[in-house]
Amino acid sequence: MHKIETPQSGDKPVLLLDVDGVFLVSPEMLAPDYKPQVCPEGFRLRPNTDNPYIFYNPDHGAWMRSLLVEADTYYLTSLGPEAYEEVGDHLGLPRFAWVNYWAFPNTEAVGERVTAVTAIFPGRAVVWVDDEHKPAAYAWAEERTANGTPTLLIQPESEQGLQYEHVVQAKAWLGQLTVR
């Protein structure tokens, strides 16, 4: 059985966060006409990196802190347990547990991330922010919600990263859950 042991486990909704394309944007994620010497609007060069063209938005820290009281938060990213060092520290966020989705089978139908979320967070409402949700993930979320477990997928554009309206959407959705 795959289970995350953290002090955050409980009945609160779950907030799952990807990193690349959500908090960090880099040239390979940007439009073909991107000029690396120009930082995307609202972003800054991430310090202490071998790649001088990885950008982060310092506003993301405050935006995310406004959601932390609403949900138990986890990284769900290919960066693995290093996600905090890659982005969380720069944004002033606490250390979140990382969902080790690599331990789950990668089925063509839904992928290992969906398989992991299904196994680790059964019955818990989930809001999941990722720039690469696949159509099968949307079908899974719709079915999960129809079966009584609210699930919201938020998909920022990779070249723009997380926008404030995504945070507003997540807060409104989480607020609906607590009203019930």
Average pLDDT over residues 114-121: 91
Q: What tokens were used for 40?
A: 């995307």
Alpha helical stretches, state H, the chain: 59-68, 83, 89-91, 112-120, 135-146, 164-179
pTM score, whole prediction: 0.83
Label residues 117-148 b or e (16+ Cβ within 10 Å = b).
beebbeebbbbbbbbebeeebeebbeebeeee
Is residue 7 a part of any domain in this protein? no
- Which CATH number characterizes residue 59's domain? 3.40.50
**CA pair distance 150, 142, nearest whole angstrom:** 9
Is residue 1 a part of any domain in this protein? no
Is residue 61 a part of any domain in this protein? yes
**Higher-confidence position of 138 and 43:** 138
For residue 27, is pLDDT > 60? no
Is residue 21 a part of any domain in this protein? yes
Q: Give how far Cα 129 sits from Cα of 10, 32, 35, 38, 135, Å.
A: 20, 24, 27, 26, 15
Is residue 9 a part of any domain in this protein? no
Span 46-89, pLDDT tens digits: 665 565 567 778 888 999 998 988 999 999 988 888 887 878 88
Is residue 163 a part of any domain in this protein? yes
Domain, as residue range, for 28: 14-179
Is residue 3 a part of any domain in this protein? no
Label residues 68-82 b or e (16+ Cβ within 10 Å = b).
eebbbbbbbbebeee
**CA pair distance 65, 169, nearest whole angstrom:** 15
Report how many domains make up the chain: 1
Q: In what order do the strands lie in the sheet with 126-129?
A: 97-98, 72-75, 14-17, 126-129, 151-154
Is residue 102 a part of any domain in this protein? yes
Q: How confident is the model at residue 125 (pLDDT cuts 50, 70, 90)?
A: very high
